[in-house]
Amino acid sequence: MPEILEVEMYAEAARRVIGRRVSRVTHLDSLVVADPEIVRSLEGKRINDVTCLGKVLTLHTSSLAVDLHFGMAGRIIVDGRSPIDELSYAASDDSKWIRFGLSFGQGFLCVSDPRRFARVHPSHHGEGLGPDAMTIGRREFRERVSGRNTPIKAVLLDQSTVAGLGNMLVDEILWRADVDPRRKKLDAATVDIIHARMRVVLPQLAKRGGSHTGRVSVELRVPGSACPRDGAILSRATVGGRTTFWCPKHQR
Ligand SMILES: [Zn+2]
């Protein structure tokens, strides 16, 4: 699933189209694209910036901005290339999965999503999103996360608390912070540890190639896997609505 690291890679790829004028909106999937008539009015406009906040990528023109959400399996393809390889995400470049597409005089940008959970709409300009997980400071993170009467896993997945974390990154961060994902009402000291681990994990995994490259890697996310730190069999349950893996021995 695309999390903040993947969306950063998508943004990096999308920045190639800055300065290009949209000649045609080629795909407007009825389920994926909201307000298609407004989105279609990208035609004739020049892309002058690409930004992201959490998992939302925004294409800016001088008079219209459009948000792209990638859902569970959405990928961006720019000029025929995607920054994410197919194996990690079980997606493909099959043209029948293109849900949103822009063609420029030269080249194109599109969102490919076999599962149709991607969303494209006129920009909400960050409304409803918390601060970006890459940059949120320790104090603000502590204020938003500590003391909440909800499992910490759910708190961190809530995009209005912190924007950008998804299922795999949260499991990785809590594994490194020695915190049980089901715990509630965390004290400030524990939340500070989570923040510190997050600030290390995000750039580290970005360098390695994405959310699936953590110590609790995608290969370990199957029943019966052992904790790479102490060998305990990882626990598995639905926490915060998502399949969660954690170590019953060192995560407390
Ligand atoms: Zn362990």
ipTM: 0.99
* Residue intervals in the chain for CATH 3.20.190.10: 4-122
pLDDT surpasses 90 at 199: yes
Confidence of residue 86 (pLDDT cuts 50, 70, 90): low
- CA–centroid distance, residue 213 to ligand 1 (Å): 17
Supply the pLDDT for residue 205.
96
User: How does DSSP classify residue 150?
Assistant: S
pLDDT surpasses 90 at 122: yes
pLDDT in tens, 150-183: 999 999 999 999 999 999 999 999 999 999 999 9
Average pLDDT, the chain: 94
User: Span 4-122: which CATH code?
Assistant: 3.20.190.10
- CA–centroid distance, residue 232 to ligand 1 (Å): 6
- CA–centroid distance, residue 230 to ligand 1 (Å): 5
Torsion angle of alpha carbons 16, 18, 19, 23, nearest 10°?
90
Tell me the backbone φ, ψ of residue 225, rounded to 5 degrees.
-70, 150
Supply the pLDDT for residue 85.
65
Residues 231, 237, 7: CA angle, nearest 5 degrees? 90
Q: What's the CA gap between 71 and 68, in Å, rounded?
A: 9
Q: What's the CA gap between 90 and 247, in Å, rounded?
A: 27
Confidence of residue 95 (pLDDT cuts 50, 70, 90): confident
Q: What's the CA gap between 120 and 112, in Å, rounded?
A: 12
Q: What's the CA gap between 149 and 220, in Å, rounded?
A: 29
- CA–centroid distance, residue 235 to ligand 1 (Å): 10
pLDDT surpasses 60 at 87: no
Supply the pLDDT for residue 29.
97
Tell me the backbone φ, ψ of residue 134, rounded to 5 degrees.
-70, -30
* Residue intervals in the chain for CATH 1.10.8.50: 138-246
Instruction: Say which CATH topology domain 138-246 has.
Output: Helicase, Ruva Protein; domain 3 (1.10.8)
- CA–centroid distance, residue 233 to ligand 1 (Å): 8
User: How does DSSP classify residue 81?
Assistant: B
Q: What's the CA gap between 171 and 241, in Å, rounded?
A: 13
Supply the pLDDT for residue 88.
46
- CA–centroid distance, residue 50 to ligand 1 (Å): 40
Confidence of residue 133 (pLDDT cuts 50, 70, 90): very high
- CA–centroid distance, residue 7 to ligand 1 (Å): 29
Average pLDDT in the 206-218 region?
A: 93
- CA–centroid distance, residue 217 to ligand 1 (Å): 14
- CA–centroid distance, residue 251 to ligand 1 (Å): 7
- CA–centroid distance, residue 177 to ligand 1 (Å): 11
Supply the pLDDT for residue 82.
86
- CA–centroid distance, residue 80 to ligand 1 (Å): 42
Q: What's the CA gap between 220 and 223, in Å, rounded?
A: 8
- CA–centroid distance, residue 71 to ligand 1 (Å): 30
- CA–centroid distance, residue 99 to ligand 1 (Å): 41
- CA–centroid distance, residue 1 to ligand 1 (Å): 24
pLDDT surpasses 80 at 89: no
pLDDT surpasses 70 at 90: no
- CA–centroid distance, residue 62 to ligand 1 (Å): 51
